[in-house]
Amino acid sequence: MSTGTSSSAGSKHVRPLSPFMMYRWQYSNTLSILNRITGILLSIGLLLLVYWLIALASGADAYAKARTLLTSPLGYAVLSGFTFSFFYHLLNGVRHLVWDVGYGFEKSTARKSGWLVFLGSIVVTLFFWFLVYNTRGAA
């Protein structure tokens, strides 16, 4: 992505501008930046996954501490955000793969798949936690 200025001395041509300088805010770039943000959150979440595994490998006492931390209100909040990030990044990733194969570029289709991804990730996240809550109750 290159940022150019149109007023450099002696230049006859208007040089291209970076997208963020010329486009109005709309659904497509919101979904795009959300993909990047959730990706970064998932990268941080990887630290959490590895912390959990190290705690498990370190024995029952260390794991009990990690479990208490992760099942605290803050722990649940972080895990919920992580779950939403995961499902959003996953569904939008599939959307990208479909584009890569060459389908879904029509404006109306892209808009529909965008809504599907966004609402779908909220629904799947809620459903996942419902299942977690249910198995917990059954055990």
Residues interacting with other proteins, by CB under 8 A?
1, 36, 39-40, 42-43, 46-47, 49-50, 53-54, 56-60, 63-64, 67, 86, 90, 93-94, 96-97, 100, 128, 131-132, 135-136, 138-139
| Residue placing its CB nearer to other proteins in the complex, 1 or 9 | 1
Q: How far is the CB of 136 from other proteins (least distance, A)?
A: 5
Q: How far is the CB of 106 from other proteins (least distance, A)?
A: 22
Number of H helices, E strands in the chain: 5, 0
Nearest CA to 28 out of 82, 102, 83, 109 is that of 109
Q: How far is the CB of 108 from other proteins (least distance, A)?
A: 25
| Residue placing its CB nearer to other proteins in the complex, 55 or 114 | 55
Would you say the C-alpha torsion 76, 81, 84, 90 has a positive or negative sign?
Answer: negative
Cβ-contact 120, 90 below 8 angstroms? no
Q: Which amino acid is at 43?
A: S
